[in-house]
A and B are shown apart, each in its own frame.
Chain A
C-alpha cells in the first residue's frame, strides 16, 4: 500500500517537473519565434547586411554559418570518431586513459572566449591564416571535439558487449568489428551527438569573433573559383556568421532597425537548427535501416 502511494506521488512529481521544463523551453522558443518571424522574408534571408541603414538582410551570414558548420564537421567528426573508438574499444583502464579523459573534459569546460583567443593567436596570427573561415573552423573544432568525442564514445559504449563478442567470434578483427558491427548499430546515437554538436556550433559566437571575424565581405554567388575573395567557397575569406552578427548588432551596431534584424536573425537561427535536426533525423533513420537490412 505504502509503496504504491509513494509510486503515485513520485511519478506525479516527475510529470509536473517535466511539464515545467517543457513549459519553460516552449515559451522560450515561442518568444523568439514570435518576435522574429514577422521580420523574416525572402528579401531578409538573401539580402546582404547593411551597417547603418534600414533594411539589411542576413543572406551572407546564413551561408557562412552553414559553410562553417560543414567545414567544422568535416574536420572534427573523423577526429572525434577515431578518438572515441580508441577510448571505447582499445584504451586500457589505467592512469593514462584517466588522464586523457580528464584532459578532454577540461577542454570542454574552457570558456569559448579562451578558445577564440587561442585560435586568434595561433591560427590567425602565427599560422597566418588571417581572419578566415579556416581559422574559425579550426577554433570551432577545438570547441567541438570534447563534447562530440564524449557523445560518440557514449553511444559506442551503449552497444552491448555481446555484439562485440559475436563479431570477434566470427573471426573479425577488433577494428572490423568496430566498423562493421558496432558503428552501424551506434549510428543513431552518433547522429544525435552530431546534431547536438552542430547546434552548439551554429550558435557559437565568442570563439568566432576573433577567428572567423566580424565582417562579411560581399559574395558573388556566381563565382565558384575557390581562390577568389568574393567566392563563397574561399576558405581564406573573413566570414561573419549569424550568431556573430546577432552579437555585433546588439553590442556596437548603429543600424536603426538593429532590434528587428537581431530578432529576425535569432528566429532564422532556430529555424535553421530545426531544419537541420529534422534532416539529420531522417538521414539517421535511413542509414540505420540500410545498415540493419544489409
Chain B
C-alpha cells in the first residue's frame, strides 16, 4: 500500500517538474515576444504619426526623391521623400550579401566538409574574434583604407555604395559564415554516407546532397547577414557619404535609411515632423526586415519539400 502511494507521489512530483519547466520556458518566450511587440508598437506608432499628425502622404514619403526635412516644397508639402535612402539601403544590402554569400558558403564547406581540423583551429577563432570588433572600427578602417583605394581606382571622392558594400561585406562575413557552418553541421551524417556509398564524389555529395539539405539553414544565414547589413549604421555612415540623392552609380555619395536615421536622431526635437519622419524610416526598416523574413521562410518551405 505504502509502496504504491510513494510511487503515486513520485509521478506527481515528475509532473510538477514538467509543469514547472514548461511554464518557465514559456514565460521566457512570452517575455521576448512582449519586448518585440512593445518595440514594434513604439517604433510604428511614432512612425505613423508622420502621416496622421503631420499629414504627409504615404506616396510622397515612399516615392519622393527630395529629402529636406524642415523645409516645404512649392506645393506647401514638407520635403520628406525617402526614396534615396530606400534605394541606397537596398543596394548596399543586396550587393554585400551577393558578395558575401559565395565566400561564406565556401568557407563553411571548407570548415565542415573538407578540413574540419584546420577550420576549427584557424577559421573559427578568427571569425569569432571579428564579430567583436565594434562597427566604428570597421568604419574607420573603411575611411582610411577602402575609401582612398576606391578613389585611386575610380576617381571621384571614393565615398559611395561601393565603399559601403566592401565594408559591409567584411562585416557580415563572420556572421554569415558561422551560421552557414551550423547549417551544414546540422545535416545528418548518414546523408553524406549514403551519397558516398552510391559512388558520388566529394563535390557531388556536397553539391547535390549537403547543400540541398542545408538550403533553408543557409538562407537563414544569408538573411541574418542581410539583416546585419541592413541595420548597420555607424560603419556605413562613415564611408557612404550620406548624400540624400537617388543613387545613379556605385561611386557617388549616397545614403541609407540607417545612416540618415543615426545622423539626425539626436539633432531633432521629439514630437516634431523632423523627428517623426525618422521613426517612419525606422518603420520602413522593420517592414523590409519582415519582408525578407517571410521571403526566406517561403523559399525554405519550398526547399524542404524537394
Contacts and interface: CB of A to CB of B under 8 A. Distances in A.
Do A and B touch, yes or no (CB under 8 Å, in the complex)? yes
Interface of A: 3-4, 6-7, 10-11, 13-15, 17-18, 20-22, 24-26, 28-29, 31-32, 78-83, 85-87, 89-91, 98, 100, 102-115, 117-118, 121-122, 142, 145, 147, 149-151, 154-155, 157-158, 160, 173-176, 178-179, 189, 192, 195-196, 198-200, 202-206, 243, 246-247, 250, 262, 266, 269-270, 273-274, 277
B110 A203 contact: no
Contacts of A78: 28
Q: Which among B109, B290, B293 has the highest number of chain A CB atoms within 10 Å?
A: B293
A269 B282 CA distance: 30
B37 interface: yes
A15 to B, nearest CB: 7
Interface in B172-196: 173-174, 177-178, 182, 185-186, 188
Contacts of B129: 29, 199, 270, 273-274, 277
B204 interface: yes
Contacts of B186: 154, 157-158
B170 A204 contact: no
Interface string B22-33: 101111110111
Given A29-B130, A154-B186, A205-B136, A24 B170 contact: yes
Contacts of A114: 39, 43, 261, 282, 285
Interface string B113-132: 01000000011011111111
B14 interface: yes
Given A7-B201, A106-B286, A109-B289, A21 B17 contact: no
Nearest to B108: A18
14 contacts: A3-B204, A14-B106, A21-B106, A21-B177, A82-B29, A83-B32, A110-B286, A175-B22, A176-B18, A196-B128, A203-B131, A205-B136, A246-B137, A269-B134
Q: Say which size band chain B's interface belongs to.
A: 35 or more
A118 B39 contact: yes
Contact of B110 (A18, A25, A31, A90): A18
B232 interface: yes
Given A22-B126, A111-B231, A173-B14, A246 B43 contact: no
A103 B37 contact: yes
A80 to B, nearest CB: 8
Contacts of A173: 14-15, 17-18, 21
Contacts of A145: 32, 35
Given A104-B36, A109-B289, 16 more contacts: A6-B203, A7-B203, A11-B202, A17-B106, A28-B133, A78-B28, A79-B32, A82-B25, A90-B22, A111-B285, A113-B261, A113-B262, A176-B14, A200-B132, A250-B140, A270-B132
Contacts of B28: 78-83, 85-86
A18 B261 contact: no
A66 to B, nearest CB: 13
Contact of A203 (B114, B126, B134, B173): B134
Contact of B27 (A18, A82, A106, A117): A82
